[in-house]
Amino acid sequence: MRAVIQRVLRSKVSVDGQVIGEIGKGYNVLLGVCNEDTREDADKLIRKLIGLRICEDENGKTNLSIQDTDGELLIISQFTLYADCRKGRRPSFTGAGSPEHAKALYEYVIGQCTPQVKKVAHGEFGAEMQVEIINDGPFTIVLDTADLA
């Protein structure tokens, strides 16, 4: 499982010109799933995401988590995080999880984050989405469960 986490002042996602998810200060999370990913991988990623201390304290130091700051999450499915660009110029996406598997884990992540964070908004799995992000910093972290302890 892979996630690109961007600390944002605000972010929103639209489908067909309609805003379907919107947050204020918090994290915009692009989430990719592969077929080998499990709920255990998702739990590992969620623990890291929720506990990650990348929010600023009163001294401007990154000492606080999203829970510490009552931050919000916007979680968007992003199969292109599994793009393989090693050969040629057109990426291969065969490493991405099947739609059924990826959707189930994507929804699981949303469901597990919801009771832990002030607000959790999300995109629409499989839809053509437009994402607007106002970065804070900018501050961007990439997590891969294969690399997490």
Catalytic annotation, residues = 78-80
Distance CA 107, CA 113 (A): 10
Question: CA–CA distance from 46 to each of 4, 20, 36, 114 (Å)?
Answer: 13, 22, 17, 11
The first and second tokens of residue 46, run together, are 């969620």
Considering Cα of 142, then 144, then 145, then 149, what sign does the dihedral take? negative
Distance CA 99, CA 42 (A): 16
Residue 100 C-beta-side C-alpha neighbours within 13 Å: 0
